[in-house]
Amino acid sequence: MTETTRVCFVCLGNICRSPTAEAIMAHRLGFEDLGVHVEVESAGTGNWHVGHPPDERARDEAARRGVPMAGTARQFTADDFARFDIVLAMDTANMEALRGIAPDAAAADKVHLLREFDPAADGEMDVPDPYFGGSRGFTDVFDMVDRSITGLIGHIGSATAGE
């Protein structure tokens, strides 16, 4: 039987950072052999973009890099903790919001910052929200998330190898 690891990336509105992470992870998993099946999704802590596609600037940056991005925004709920093994917040505010709705300590322990897996984080653990900035912010976010995904894939691979 194949082990499955379920990962959810979470930002504020689920139209910029978390769909970028979901798209990069799904794309990279097509090239990685982790010895484990990984399912990825994304969500937001807020509900104002529910049903909307990812931000056009995020889609443009992903397309420029050859990474397909699709989907629609949804809100993360307390019930989602039962579905996911790892919940990765894009910043401290979203991490705190997620831990605040966690039904118990075990659920809260599933929440981490994505940049915990970024070797270039250098103490800055938040992926900044590019929504109100220009296209350069989306480029920077893509780079941060891509580095973090590399570390995350290594972590999942090594964690499953030790089982």
Residue 96 lies in a domain: yes
> How many domains is the chain built from?
1
For residue 1, pLDDT over 70 is answered with: no
Residue 163 lies in a domain: no
% residues pLDDT > 70 (the chain) = 93
Query: Which structure tokens are listed for 140?
Result: 């920077």
Residue 11 designated active-site? yes
Residue 162 lies in a domain: no
Name the catalytic one among 17, 57, 115, 147: 17
Residue 17 designated active-site? yes
Report d(CA 148, CA 93) in Å as an integer.
18
Amino acid (one-letter) located at 103: P
Residue 16 designated active-site? no
3-state DSSP call for residue 13? coil
Name the catalytic one among 11, 55, 59, 126: 11
Name the catalytic one among 55, 129, 146, 147: 129
Residue 68 lies in a domain: yes
**Of 127, 125, 82, which Cα lies nearest the Cα of 102?**
82
Q: How many CB atoms lie within 10 A of CB 42?
A: 27
Surface-to-core class of residue 163, CB atoms within 10 Å of its CB (0-12 exposed, 13-18 middle, 19+ buried)? exposed
pLDDT on residue 133 = 83
Summarize the confidence of residues 42-68 as an average pLDDT: 97
- State the residue range of the domain holding 153: 4-157
Residue 16 lies in a domain: yes
Report d(CA 126, CA 62) in Å as an integer.
20
Residue 132 lies in a domain: yes
One DSSP character per residue, 27-81 reads HHHTT---SSEEEEEEEESS-TTTTPPPPHHHHHHHHHTT--------B--GGGG
Q: What is the mean pLDDT of the chain?
A: 93
Report d(CA 162, CA 150) in Å as an integer.
19
**Of 124, 95, 125, 121, which Cα lies nearest the Cα of 110?**
95
CATH of the domain at 128: 3.40.50.2300
* pLDDT tens digits, one per residue of 137-161: 999 999 999 999 999 999 988 766 5
Residue 72 lies in a domain: yes
